[in-house]
Amino acid sequence: MPSTATLHVLHQAPGRDLVAAEEAAAAFLEALGIDLDSESLRQTPRRMAHGYAELFTPRAFDLTTFPNDEDYDELVLVRNVPLRSVCEHHLLPFAGTVHIGYLPGERIIGLSKLARVAEHFACRPQVQERLTKQIAGWLDEHLHPRGVGVVIEAEHSCMTLRGVQSVGSATVTSALSGALRDDPRSRQEFFALAGVHA
């Protein structure tokens, strides 16, 4: 029988008020001198409110794990999982990919759940460094593997669309634990299979 641990929605906004969010969006746009009277902009505050509500609402899911009956002890890696979040400093999006690997202990995880964990923590205002550690820490806590590795490569629109306007730049962050942190060969294998130069 598979074991499941329900992933509770963290930071779920109690009392979310989309009407107030729409009014605030309208006031924000008007304060920046944007005329909302045209047909194409009239519904923009509503779209903004609903759009951000969607960005900040992760889907709940059960973390399904199974006994490691074969005593599989090599690296399991899911790479190039699409990832998007919102920079908490400017509320502008950042997007890229996440590579998630682990060295199994007594249990293995349904592979799609690795992507779901990443999505869960990305659905809120974030910084990439924290997001990387949250994914790794949650898997450590709930799966008890011999090691976890997470690498995120992302382009931040707060860098590319404003300020320095560094188009094409990518930010890379990593979080490693257990053997993937402490054993040089395991660490090297993880980065090589993830396609990241360490």
Q: Among all chains, which residue has been given the structure tokens 């590795």?
A: 149
> Is 123 known to be catalytic?
no
> Is 89 known to be catalytic?
yes
First-to-last CA distance in the chain?
A: 39
Q: Catalytic: which of 22, 126, 134, 156?
A: 156
Q: Catalytic: which of 12, 30, 89, 129?
A: 89
Q: Catalytic: which of 128, 134, 153, 189?
A: 128
CA–CA gap between residue 54 and residue 164 (Å, rounded):
29
> Is 158 known to be catalytic?
yes
Q: Catalytic: which of 88, 106, 129, 141?
A: 88
> Is 88 known to be catalytic?
yes
Q: Catalytic: which of 87, 99, 119, 153?
A: 87
Which residues participate in catalysis according to the annotation? Answer: 87-90, 128, 156, 158
